[in-house]
Structure 1
Amino acid sequence: MQPKASVIISTYNQPEWLYKVFIGYEQQSFKDFEIIIADDGSANSTKILIEQYKSETDLTITHIWHEDDGFRKTKILNKAIKASASDYLIITDGDCIPRLDFVEKHLHLRQLRCFLSGGYFKLPKSISDQISRQDIENQNCFDIDWLVSKGLKKTFKTNKLSSSGLKEKLLNKFTPTKATWDGMNASGWKKDIIAVNGFDERMAYGGEDRELGERLMNYGIRPIQIRYSAICVHLYHERSYKNDIALNLNLEIRKTTKSKKIIWTDYGIVKPS
């Protein structure tokens, strides 16, 4: 049967972090989802981890891989979208551990002709390294007191981890942060993403996810802010693939998308014949 959601997780050579992410999806309160790994050319260690985890868990996991040829996240994400079996897609990263209600929140808050813009909470390397299987199973890594005991400083951002009920709704409504398509935590209807032709594969690192959201908005899909509702913790990593040339190209593409109200990209899932 068709799953209620397809969780598409992008990854590149981070099997240790991906392992922790898998544990997070094992804990989900809502179980009817598939996982599709959008692998941008990882070495064999990632494949070994995925095959081992598939044999040890009830999670439904599909591994979509292409050869390493630089940062091609948008291309592998488009392949994963095509491979997805659900009509609702949750897109996140392989270094983001989901809270146990992550999938449930996305499905509960979804609306027709809308996409959801979720939040994430960045952790320093020292805490990222310390998180164990038990800490994920017990949800310690989402508990502020536990995080503070490991050296985290309390800030306004820790409200992401502690808000619920009315406070959660008010913070979502009044946050000054705009609702955008963020690749670490966003979701939408597959038919809407297909209608704008998915991700623009010209784009390397830097705003490549947001450009999809901007085309969705041009198409009439309304963004909904849920950064205080659907929560994941973002494990620390370097960004060696960041470069100014790619960033400037991405900015130009996004500028054109917004100024010309572009809906469709010729560099997406469907290519011109």
Structure 2
Amino acid sequence: MKLSVIITTYNSEDWLRKVLIGYSVQTETDFELVIADDGSTEKTKHLLEEFKSSFKYPIVHVWHEDNGFRKSEILNKAILKTSADYLLFTDGDCIPRNDFVKMHLKHQQKGYFLSGGYFKLPLQLSTLISVNDIVNQNCFSIKWLVNNGLKANFKISKLTKNSYFASFMNWITPTKKTFNGHNSSVFKEDLLAINGFNQDMHYGGLDREVGERLFNFGILSKQIRYDAICLHLHHERGYADPQKIQANLKIRRYNIKHNIIRIKNGIVSE
């Protein structure tokens, strides 16, 4: 297959259902879904059973018990379960536009990872989006969003489906080309070379840290935030811990300063 899509989740069945519908209507179908489940209840397993006939390939459910925030660990386990050579990372609260997979495959290039973005929705709109809105792609329409209460601003231009505009905006955007857990893709061999995600890191920048070590490894990045579009559904972040975020920043600064490529506590313990 062309691609493995790794989706992180934790007890968010309502949002994950909308995300799975988004992947079920992709224009490119040659991909698998690998669910990196950080300890959800049986409800998530039952939801995935509902969708098993909606895709060309079986959904791979990678789960470990709930023992606090262990996203890096479950992502590393998911990476080892992928079947494709090219991996797309996203979250269970990000609905992909129907050309999302197509765009990641279109722009993939040896020696690069792809840096995508998202358009964030308020809770009211996140809840309002229905199955039909995703299937018919209404929720990606600027007019539909504004008519349903969204306050228009420049960021909404990311939803403009025009390849020339997208290329121009990717070129001029001041946003850095970072590795984003909600929308980035990379060759598996490059991720294995840096030993995957750092399991010493809690919430806060663990995906950015992967990108920084990829840069140290010699991998460059391409900006596709206006090409590969996903809608980020609203949710609270009760797991954010300021002290652990600061500890993560310390790790990142050390790795950048010392040009660290492989970390000790990753896919393989070294």
TM-score w.r.t. length of structure 1: 0.97
Q: What per-residue deviation string (whole Å, max 9, x for no partner) do you get for residues 20-57 of structure 1?
A: 00100011000000000000001111111112221465
1:271–1:174 Cα change, 3 Å? same
Cα RMSD (Å) of the superposition? 0.9
How much has 1:119 moved relative to structure 2?
1.2
2:257 alignment counterpart: 259
Within 1, Cα distance between the matches of 2:108 and 2:201? 27
Within 2, Cα distance between the matches of 1:57 and 1:163? 25
Within 1, Cα distance between the matches of 2:166 and 2:53? 38
Within 2, Cα distance between the matches of 1:24 and 1:135? 10
The ranges of structure 1 where at least 4 consecutive aligned residues each deviate by more than 2 angstroms after the TM superposition are 55-60
Would the aligned equivalents of 1:106 and 1:116 in 2 still touch at CA under 8 Å? yes
Q: What per-residue deviation string (whole Å, max 9, x for no partner) do you get for residues 128-171 of structure 1?
A: 00111000000011000000011101111011101422211110
How much has 1:196 moved relative to structure 2?
0.3
Would the aligned equivalents of 2:88 and 2:186 in 1 still touch at CA under 8 Å? yes
1:77 alignment counterpart: 75
Q: Match of 1:99, as an amino acid?
A: R
Where does 1:116-135 land on structure 2 (aligned, <5 Å)? 116-135=114-133
How much has 1:60 moved relative to structure 2?
2.5
Within 2, Cα distance between the matches of 1:143 and 1:78? 35
1:102 alignment counterpart: 100
Would the aligned equivalents of 2:125 and 2:148 in 1 still touch at CA under 8 Å? yes
1:33–1:58 Cα change, 3 Å? closer
Within 1, Cα distance between the matches of 2:225 and 2:2? 22
Single out whichever of 244-253 and 163-172 deviates more from structure 2: 163-172
Within 2, Cα distance between the matches of 1:60 and 1:207? 31
Q: What per-residue deviation string (whole Å, max 9, x for no partner) do you get for residues 2-35 of structure 1?
A: x100000000010110000010001100000000
Within 2, Cα distance between the matches of 1:208 and 1:238? 18
How much has 1:59 moved relative to structure 2?
5.0
SS at 2:95 equivalent: strand
Would the aligned equivalents of 2:19 and 2:93 in 1 still touch at CA under 8 Å? yes
2:13 alignment counterpart: 15
Within 1, Cα distance between the matches of 2:68 and 2:103? 34
Where does 1:176-187 land on structure 2 (aligned, <5 Å)? 176-187=174-185
Would the aligned equivalents of 1:119 and 1:160 in 2 still touch at CA under 8 Å? no
Where does 1:33-72 land on structure 2 (aligned, <5 Å)? 33-55=31-53, 58=56, 60-72=58-70
1:235 alignment counterpart: 233
Identity percentage of aligned residues = 54
How much has 1:235 moved relative to structure 2?
0.5
**How many equivalent pairs are there?**
270
SS at 1:60 equivalent: coil
TM-score w.r.t. length of structure 2: 0.98
Match of 1:137 among 114, 135, 139: 135
Within 2, Cα distance between the matches of 1:243 and 1:151? 32
Within 1, Cα distance between the matches of 2:183 and 2:36? 15
1:12–1:192 Cα change, 3 Å? same
Q: What per-residue deviation string (whole Å, max 9, x for no partner) do you get for residues 198-221 of structure 1?
A: 000011110010000000000000
Within 2, Cα distance between the matches of 1:232 and 1:168? 14
How much has 1:179 moved relative to structure 2?
0.5
Which runs of 5 or more residues in structure 1 are unaligned? Answer: none
SS at 2:186 equivalent: strand
Within 2, Cα distance between the matches of 1:57 and 1:164? 28
How much has 1:245 moved relative to structure 2?
1.4
Within 2, Cα distance between the matches of 1:5 and 1:59? 11
Q: Match of 2:252, as an amino acid?
A: R
